[in-house]
Amino acid sequence: MKIKSIVLSVAAGVVIGAVAAPLLEDGPATPSAPGTSSTDLRECPDLRRGTADPVDGKDCVRALQGALHALGYAQPVTGGFRETTEQNVLAFQRAQGIEPNSGVAGPKTRAALADAGTVPAAIGEADYSLVTCGGTSCHLYLRRSTTKTVADFVDAHPAAVSIGSGLLTQGACRVLKMRKAGIVCDLLAGGGADHLLARLDRAAERGACLHLRIGLPSGEARLVSATAENGARCAD
């Protein structure tokens, strides 16, 4: 298994031709159930602010909005590409390292969102075999099964590597905040996503747990190290 770090680029989108449906405002006025569109985003044209379903006979905007919603963005599924959708596309592009940050859902953005449709469930306390915290640090041991699940996702979807690191860091922060009230948790504030994912890959290859050591200087949680652990603290 090998995790690939890739730099994505997005070709500038072209304005879509006339659409049959009127433009819909982002919001709950005419929502559909999130994630119900069967449209493959890869088969859609570039989507930008002002686009509305149907697009070439397909629910492309709803598919885009459903994918964003499934990733945890505050995104209503209305079928109209307006300000909220544009801002969420921009946020996704920044998280994925897609350049330029245009807010247009071009080929690379749509492919990354389509790949991300199989994102594993959010990581919670039950995904750790052991969590210990002292005065200045915490140690989290991600279960073997969860370590492998996240590593397999990143390996299968290289366009969504930041989603894999996000699953790890957000899960760790969720647990840390339960143990240490009031901490500011931004584990990768100084970088280190590549290191984290490389260690995740190594742990999965060895059938081990991912051990995260988190420093707590001045109430701010920072990732100190990530290593493969196969000792007594590791569980399936």
Across the range 51-75, mean pLDDT stands at 90
Extract the tokens encoding 70: 């499934």
Residue 212 has pLDDT above 60, yes or no: yes
Q: Which residues contact 90 (CB under 8 A, 6 or more apart)?
A: 101, 102, 103
Q: Which residue has the higher pLDDT, 147 or 33?
A: 147
Q: Answer whether 0.75 is exceeded by the pTM.
A: no
Domain extent listing, the chain: 1-118, 125-229
**pLDDT score of 28:** 43
Query: Yes or no: is domain 1-118 CATH 1.10.101.10?
Result: yes
Across the range 52-70, mean pLDDT stands at 93
pLDDT digits 0-9 by tens, 197-209? 999 999 999 999 9
pLDDT band at 69 (very low <50, low <70, confident <90, very high): confident
